[in-house]
Amino acid sequence: MDLTVYLLDTLVFMGIFALLAMSLNVEYGFTGLGNFGKVAFFMAGAYTYAITAALGWPFYLCLVFAALVAGALGALISLPALRLREDYLAIVTLTFGEILRIIIKAEQGLAGGVWGITIPSAFAGLDLTPRMTAWANVVLVWVIVVGVFVFLQLLINTPYGRVLRGIREDDVAVQVLGKSFVLYKAQALMVGSAIAGVAGGLFAQYLRFIDPYMFLPLVTFLVWVMLILGGPANHWGALIGAVIVEFFNRGSRFLKDYLVLPFDPNNVQFIIFGLLIILLLLYRPYGLFREKPLRTGAEAEVLKWPSSP
Amino acid sequence: MIDTGQILVNSLVTSSLYLLAGTGLTLTFGLSRFPNFAYAELITVGAFCGLLFLAQPGGVFVLALVGAFLVAGLVSASSYSLVFQPLAERKTSLIHLMVASIALGYVLRHTIGEIWGWSAQAYQLMWTVYTIGTVRISSLWIIMIATAVLTAVVLHFFLTRTRTGKAIRAVASNPELASVTGINKQKVILLTWFFGAGLAAVAGVFRAADTRLFPMLGWDILLPIFAVTILGGIGSFYGLIIAALLLGLAENFGVVLLSSIGLSTEYRMAIAFLILITVLIVRPKGLAR
Amino acid sequence: MAILAVEGISKSFGGLQVLQSASLEVAEGTITGLVGPNGSGKTTLLNTIYGLIKPDEGTVIFRGQKISGLAPYRIYDAGLAFSFQLPRLFFQLTVLDNLLLAARNQVGTSFSGALFRRRRWRRQEAELARKALQILELLGLVPLALHATGELSGGQRKLVEIGRALMSDPVMILLDEPAAGVNPVLGRKIYQKLRALRDQGLTFLIIEHKLEMLLDFADRIYMMDAGQVVLSGTPKEVIENPVFYATYVGETKNVTFPG
């Protein structure tokens, strides 16, 4: 196997998962919403991309549509979920992922059911070598990662981001201070889901074949590992968490494919991830990167204040 | 032609499974105030312990049940002491507790996958099938139903007649009640984590004996088990009995209905999901409260 | 003219009747105290006024508008502010951010405003920050402005809780034991500030166990017992009423009498 293509492949996956980790960061890291069905929105984006691409839409429109459909699903799930307690929200989102997979599996006519669906490459018309296609994918994915990163930094370091953080800490107190938390939570779920939808679209476009078995709850778990390892409420944390976890995740597949080991590296990997999460939650719940204080310009006023130390 | 008798029997079997698997979840959910997602894997641990014990010389089904009960109970109780109690002492958020339980589930599931592999296996057991009229029922099903009924009766007496049982019921079904005087709360919680997981493991052995076993066995029935837990009212054992009966009926009649209107029987799980969502919207406290 | 009228509020939890047709009126521009033994329903009444608890019966009228049944954020819109008995701060946010979150009519708190009206809200942030610092100056918290509230002591947290209520430019504030947990000197300072604000036209309804504070600062007192409002009048009238002492028999531990 071409080592360069392998590395580029890993970079693409790191980017896709960085998007998922950042999307969970909006929901969980900043707003405190425990979305345990991240894979559902990822899957919705992937299948939307697959179906619209099959209609002959250009890839950017497919991506936008993937974001819209996943975002709309996020809004839909927010309707019953947001008035619920945290534990119920967790159960509802988790089971929603299972149900969406069941629907795709059962409805053969929609997108191939269990047999999966093939997707045209975004770069099909350009007549590229495999290595150039891999490069093109890396650029496409990471341009979007950088775009989303900048967008989220702009969104979070605002009074809006302050309200989200307030909701994470105490949603009743936010209500008392004049902000309806339902609206904010719904928006956070929509934004998070839309980003996950884009990630799903990129995933489908890159692999050019998807089936329901690619969207197991395992994906959600990986995203949580990334965020908790990297550091919730810190976009750098989400990004670097995704890079680290995906390095090991792709690496374990590589080991499995090319080496004969007395154990299955994939099993060992998940045992280690599971133990890692438990240890992190016990001893370092803020992960590698701590949350940064909000920067809206207000903090600068404190330093100008006469009596400030 | 719909065979109502057969569907009723099937429903009863399903309900027995959910009752056994859900008892521990609802009681620990009530006591420790968070849903332990690793319950899925405790069911699976039970199923594979059954496989292990049946493979021993002289391995009979009863031994498999008892062995699975003890091993899963120990796994559950030690996970409480080593992971969840320390987290609770650190005033960890509810979401962190849930994430930790999911992480524990992955540790258990992939350990099982590493030891036994990911392909489906089966117990080497034969069951007698009786035919009463048009209704077919296997000896395994009779044992399952009997075990569930026996568990319900024993637990009823335990929860209403003993001090520990009353304490469990009081604390589990009253979120406001932080502690009951005169009982050792930690001991009660640990006991519940042990016995609840034991029952879940028994459910796992039954499930494996009735179908096949693989590392996702528990995860595949986690959704209906959450549905009965929430439908019954978290922490309520009696609510759970009613909810398990209702969901058993809904699923088995629902499957017939689904195929009669041309939908895939894959949607069996969707029935549990629909019930779950409806309960959460209409009556989030569940039936019992 | 009453700015706030509470009429016949009843509330029971399970079988326990916590409020029994409780009624009171608060005149505009006054400090009105609410006293009563522990468990008499004061905090429940305050929470009910602010929409945190739904009453079984009764109405709350604020400035001629019925506010009972409204969500807390609508009641905030009407010009009422609320301060919790036990501070419910955003513990990972700074003191400054805790105050800024309470500010009214912010351009940048909406999704589109945050993204598309950056210059507007950045200017507003600077103004609001100066306003917050004035409040913090008064509460002696300026040196802690950029510290996370989770690092603060109990008394300091209480001050931030009051600061948040002041930050929203309310017409009236509901305060649940503003001086609890802060040292007596600072407690008096808080009340002196509240009085100064009252003189500027603000109205207060305050739950308070420290009767000497109410004697010195309150214009009027209501006393609750067993879910009902049983006495009302000037502080002196209420304290001299025999019913007052009868109610507090066995409750002396929770009340500091003046003198």
What integer pLDDT is reported at residue C33 of this predicted model?
A: 93
Domains in chain A, number = 1
Stretch (H or E) spanning C211: helix C211-217
Q: Is position A239 within any domain?
A: no
Mean pLDDT of chain C: 88
- A168-214 pLDDT, tens per residue? 999 889 999 999 888 999 999 999 999 999 999 999 999 989 999 99
B263 → chain A, closest CA residue: A106
Flag whether pLDDT at C1 surpasses 80: no
Secondary structure letter of residue C177 according to DSSP? -
- Walking along chain B (289 residues) 10 residues at a time, the average pLDDT comes out as 80 91 88 89 94 83 90 94 91 90 95 91 85 85 90 90 82 62 75 91 92 91 91 87 90 84 78 84 74
- Write out chain A residues lying below 8 Å of C88, CB-based: 170, 172-173, 176
What integer pLDDT is reported at residue B286 of this predicted model?
A: 74
- In order of their start, the domains of chain C are 1-79+204-253 (3.40.50.300)
Query: What value does the mean pLDDT take over residues A124-138?
Result: 83
Interface check C117 vs A, CB under 8 A: no
What integer pLDDT is reported at residue B272 of this predicted model?
A: 84
Flag whether pLDDT at C4 surpasses 50: yes
Cα–Cα–Cα angle for C56, C59, C61, nearest 5°?
A: 155
Q: Extract the tokens encoding B99.
A: 């994430």
Residue carrying structure tokens 């191939």: A112
Residue B62's CATH number: 1.10.3470
C107 → chain A, closest CA residue: A159
> For residue A30, which amino acid is it?
F
Flag whether pLDDT at A282 surpasses 50: yes
Q: Which of C54, C90, C151, C161 to mutate to test the interface with A (most CBs of A within 10 A)?
A: C90
Q: Which of A82-86, A242-246, C111-115 is predicted with the least confidence, judged by mean pLDDT? A: A82-86
Q: Is position A61 within any domain?
A: yes
What integer pLDDT is reported at residue A229 of this predicted model?
A: 94
Question: Coil, helix or strand for C201?
Answer: coil
**Whole-angstrom Cα distance, residue C223 to residue C243?**
10
d(CA A2, nearest CA chain C) in Å: 44
Query: What value does the mean pLDDT take over residues C23-44?
Result: 90
- Write out chain A residues lying below 8 Å of B276, CB-based: 91-92, 95
Q: Quick check: A211 and A114 in contact, CB under 8 A?
A: yes
Share of chain C above pLDDT 70, in %: 95
Share of chain A above pLDDT 90, in %: 56
Q: Is position B288 within any domain?
A: no
Flag whether pLDDT at A228 surpasses 90: yes
Q: Where are the alpha helices (DSSP H) in chain B?
A: 4-32, 39-55, 61-79, 85-89, 94-116, 139-161, 163-173, 185-210, 217-220, 222-232, 237-260, 268-282
Q: Which of A11-15, A158-162, A222-226, C190-194 is predicted with the least confidence, judged by mean pLDDT? A: C190-194
Q: Is position B289 within any domain?
A: no
What integer pLDDT is reported at residue A160 of this predicted model?
A: 96
Q: Is position B287 within any domain?
A: no
- C188-244 pLDDT, tens per residue? 888 888 898 899 999 999 999 888 888 889 999 999 988 889 888 888 888 888 888
Query: What value does the mean pLDDT take over residues A87-99?
Result: 87
- B33 sits in the region (left: phi over 0; alpha: psi -120 to 50; else beta) called left
Interface check A76 vs B, CB under 8 A: no
- Write out chain A residues lying below 8 Å of C109, CB-based: 159-160, 162-163, 179
Closest CA to A243 of A14, A25, A9: A14
In terms of pLDDT, which residue wins out, A104 or A111? A104
Flag whether pLDDT at C257 surpasses 70: no
What integer pLDDT is reported at residue A115 of this predicted model?
A: 82
Q: Is position A295 within any domain?
A: no
Contact B113 A263 (CB under 8 A): no
Flag whether pLDDT at C47 surpasses 90: yes
Residue carrying structure tokens 């929901």: A27
Question: In this complex, which chains have at least 3 CB pairs below 8 Å with chain B?
Answer: A
d(CA A214, nearest CA chain B) in Å: 15
Query: What value does the mean pLDDT take over residues A102-124?
Result: 80
**Whole-angstrom Cα distance, residue C64 to residue B59?**
80
Closest CA to B46 of B101, B138, B112: B112
Q: Is position B160 within any domain?
A: yes
d(CA C74, nearest CA chain A) in Å: 7
Query: What value does the mean pLDDT take over residues A72-95?
Result: 83
- Of B99, B110, B280, which is closest to A88 when you measure between CB atoms? B280
What integer pLDDT is reported at residue A117 of this predicted model?
A: 86
Q: Is position A301 within any domain?
A: no
Beta strands in chain C (DSSP E): 2-13, 16-27, 31-35, 57-62, 65-66, 80-83, 172-176, 203-207, 220-225, 228-233
Beta strands in chain A (DSSP E): 117-118, 209-210
Q: Is position B128 within any domain?
A: yes
- Of A169, A175, A301, which is closest to C71 when you measure between CB atoms? A175
Stretch (H or E) spanning A47: helix A38-54
Q: Which of A119-123, A293-297, C215-219 is predicted with the least confidence, judged by mean pLDDT? A: A119-123
Quote the domain boundaries for residue A147.
3-216
Residues B192-216, buried b or exposed e (16+ Cβ, 10 A)? bbbbbbbbbbbbbbbbbbeeebbbb
Quote the domain boundaries for residue B33.
4-282
Contact C52 A176 (CB under 8 A): yes
Domains in chain B, number = 1
Q: How confident is the model at residue C253 (pLDDT cuts 50, 70, 90)?
A: very low
Contact C109 A163 (CB under 8 A): yes
ipTM value of the model?
0.90
- Of B99, B269, B273, which is closest to A228 when you measure between CB atoms? B99
